[in-house]
Amino acid sequence: MSSDTPDPERAAHRPDEPARAGAEPEPEQPAVDPPAGLPVPAGTPAGAPGADPLAWAGPGAEHRPATVAGPAVTARPARGVRRTVGLTLGVALLLTVLGAPLGLLWAAVAPDTPVLKTAEGAIYATPQPEQPIAADGWFSLLGLGFGVLTAIALWFLLRRRRGPVGLLAGTLGGLGAAVVAWQFGRRIGLSTYQRLLETAPDGQAFTKPADLRAGGLDWLVVPHGNLLLPAFGAAVTYTLLAGWSRWPSLRPEPEPYAAWPPPLAGAGGWGVGPAEGLSSAPVDRPARSAAPEPPGPDAAEPPRG
């Protein structure tokens, strides 16, 4: 009887039947580690032989560092937030300082209002003067233009920071520049006006420097009126530039087809070569085979000898 033929007299051992008396126990098979590269059965403990110690981390865990330092991970976002806040406040402060030349320009173009000295103080020389209205109009136009130019400058100079940083910096800087321009422009010639108001005789005519009637500060903190126009112009212009941007991230991105190689130069069909990219003909035509072509189905059979 060969070793492959089962013995009919030998009963196969079943797990649910008790072992026969006197039967020798089968030797226990040693645990064999699964070969490398084969999947490990589900439920295998992490410390078992052949188990992947990084299996708990999901796919791609073999490319992750074994230990991650918690303070190092949290330090990077905090550093980025501080840098962003510092950049925003720095740009806003720079725009606020630029309000001084804006105030000089406003004081130069806005007309002074003629007044007369009386016993009760200075009164307008004309019943309804137009100079105060002109001063408000010039400040509004200059402030709105300042906001528009500020937004355009921030859009092109801070290309890598386009987004909330530029919008917030332009808005805060516009508010600060408006207040500085107002206070700086209205004080030009104000000391001369106050001196004449105290020393000039009654009936003398002089001029009052430009001031705002349609804007100011509430509770010495909150600006209102045409002081909001520089910030309004910056916010609206920056938002329009972001809406018209062709890049979703608002930052310049490489063109998707810029890295493609140019088509091969050569003559193509119908006077259009592959250099223009319009011909579908191959550049090199396949060479004709030297073997004779098989005769057609209707060709005459050659005479036999």
Give the model confidence (pLDDT) of 185-204 as tens digits.
999 989 989 998 888 888 88
Q: What is the pLDDT of residue 148?
A: 97
Residue 277 has what pLDDT? 46
Report residue 199 as tokens: 């020393």
Quote the pLDDT of residue 296: 60
d(CA 162, CA 113): 44
What amino acid occupies position 148?
V
Contacts of 182 (CB under 8 A, 6+ apart): 103, 139, 212, 215, 227
Confidence label for 136 from pLDDT (cuts 50, 70 and 90): very high
> Is 202:122 a contact under the CB 8 Å cutoff?
no
Above 80 in pLDDT, residue 303? Answer: no
Q: Which residues of 52-72 are buried (b: 16+ CB within 10 A; e: fewer)?
A: eeeeeeeeeeeeeeeeeeeee
Q: Which of 91-95, 255-259, 268-272, 285-289 has the lowest mean pLDDT?
A: 268-272
The answer to whether 144 touches 232, Cβ cutoff 8 Å, is: yes
pLDDT of residue 199: 87
For residues 95 and 177, the answer to whether their CB atoms sit within 8 Å is yes
Indicate the pLDDT class of residue 19, thresholds 50, 70 and 90.
low
CB 137 within 8 A of CB 215: no
Give the number of other CB atoms < 10 A from CB of residue 98: 17
Predicted model pTM: 0.59
Residue 46's φ and ψ, nearest 5 degrees, are: -65, -25
